[in-house]
Amino acid sequence: MNIFELLKQKNHIIFFNQGDKCIEKFIASPDRPNFFWFHDSFYSHLSIEKQDRFLHIFIKNKNKYNFSFMQGNKTWDDVYNHFLKNKDKLNREDDLKRILVYNPPIIRSNDTMVPDLIFDFENEGNNEAVCIFPNECRWVKCKFFNDKHRPIDFIEIPELMKLIKSIIS
C-alpha cells in the first residue's frame, strides 16, 4: 500500500511544495495558480543531492478544493496512474535522466492553501527535517532520505505517518 491508497479511504490526497522560504499560506492570483508535486516521497526537480530548506506538506480533502491537472492528466485517476507509471523510474534513474524525463505529476490550484505540515531541513544535504508547523507537532524529526540520500516513501516514515493520521482522523 502507498500513501495515496491509505488517504483515498478518507477522500484525502497528499501533495507538497518545497522552497527556500517558509510559507504559511500559499495565495494564488487569477493569473498565477499554486503548483504542487503529487508524489509519495520527497522530490525535487533540481537534484536529489540538494533539497530546498523547507518542505510544505498538504493533506487535503480533494473535494473541498478546486484542483486542476497538468501533463495531460484530466482526472484524479489519471494523476494517480501517472504517479504509478513513473514511480519506479524516479527512484532508479540517475539524477539528470530522472529530472528531465520522469517528473511526478503536478497539480495546481487557484485556492489559497495552508500547509498541514512544514518541515525545515536545517542543514543543506541533511537527511532529516524538523517539523516547525503546526505548533503541536514542533520538533518532531522525520528522516526523508536513506543513507545514500535517496528519498524514503512517506508511508515508511513512522513519525510522518503518525502526524498524517492525526490530521485525517
How far apart, in whole angstroms, are the C-alpha atoms of residue 36 and residue 62? 14
- Quote the pLDDT of residue 124: 57
Question: Averaged over 132-147, what is the pLDDT?
Answer: 92
User: pLDDT tens for residues 76-120?
Assistant: 888 888 888 777 666 665 555 555 556 788 899 999 999 999 999
Element (H, E) at 160: helix 158-168
Q: What is the pTM of this model?
A: 0.88
- Quote the pLDDT of residue 95: 55
Q: Which amino acid appears at position 50 of this protein?
A: K
